[in-house]
Chain A
Amino acid sequence: EIVLTQSPGTLSLSPGERATLSCRASQNLRNRFLAWYQQRPGQAPRLLIYGTSSRATGIPDRFSGGGSGTDFTLTISRLEPEDFAVYYCQQYDNSPLFTFGPGTKVDIK
């Protein structure tokens, strides 16, 4: 089973700052089937990025994803108030088993 590790556990930033979130896989994701989700308090998760770098429908371009091999990142170029939330990565490279990372909380400094 592929294990995903996310860092940092919590990221404290101010609105307007840049956020860089990391997701590390225990094995090479050869197909780059890595997705990112945002979950605000009391809400269901929302897909942000799929296939490492493709933005889902309606996602602002301040969100971008990248990486390869075992190291992947989600970047939020300028934090808006609504971006303070928990972010999860998820892989499907090790089909048929999915795994999620433990999450990174982005909170207001």
Chain B
Amino acid sequence: EVQLVESGGALVKPGGSLRLSCAASGFTFNNVFMIWVRQAPGKGLEWVGHIKRKIDGGKTDYAAPVKGRFTISRDDSKNTVYLQMNSLKTEDTAVYYCSPQGGSGECANWGQGTLVTVSS
């Protein structure tokens, strides 16, 4: 059974930093791209970015609103993907989800998410 456990969400002040973690199990972690998606309170889903497999160079891509501020990394030995968030803004307030990326680019499975609140 696929399990995804996101953690690290917290209340942080504008301009601050936070690192989220996503521990995965139930699939061959090093063989999939991993995605981060967020959802602001009462709003829709927004793709944050993804990281490719090490065999693909571990390349990352990001949505325009977070490019240059957020960094995705992975530790295949721990089956964990990370989201380092710097220079946080109030509009980054959201529940953050991770997911393995399916062959057609879909978010194949979802965890419960972790809440990040950016407020002074």
SS class, residues of chain A in contact with chain B: loop
Indicate the member of B46, B106, B109 with the most A CB atoms within 10 Å: B106
Q: Is the CB of A44 within 8 A of B44?
A: no
Inter-chain CA distance A99–B50, complex, in Å, is: 13
Residues in chain B within 8 A of chain A (CB atoms): 35, 37, 44-47, 50, 61, 63, 97, 102-113
Residues in chain A within 8 A of chain B (CB atoms): 31-33, 35, 37, 39, 44-47, 50-51, 54, 56, 88, 90-93, 95-103
Q: Is the CB of B47 within 8 A of A35?
A: no
With beta carbons under 8 angstroms apart, the residue of A50, A54, A93, A100 that contacts B47 is A100
**Which A-chain residue is minimally distant from B63 (CB atoms)?**
A97
Q: Is the CB of B61 within 8 A of A35?
A: no
Q: Is the CB of B104 within 8 A of A37?
A: no
Q: Is the CB of B45 within 8 A of A47?
A: no
- B4 to chain A minimum Cβ distance, whole angstroms, is 9
Inter-chain CA distance A41–B108, complex, in Å, is: 20
**Which A-chain residue is minimally distant from B2 (CB atoms)?**
A57
Whether A45 contacts B104 in the complex (CB less than 8 A), given A90-B45, A98-B35, comes out as no
Inter-chain CA distance A35–B103, complex, in Å, is: 11
Known contacts A33-B106, A98-B50, A98-B105; 4 additional CB pairs below 8 A are A32-B104, A37-B45, A97-B47, A98-B47
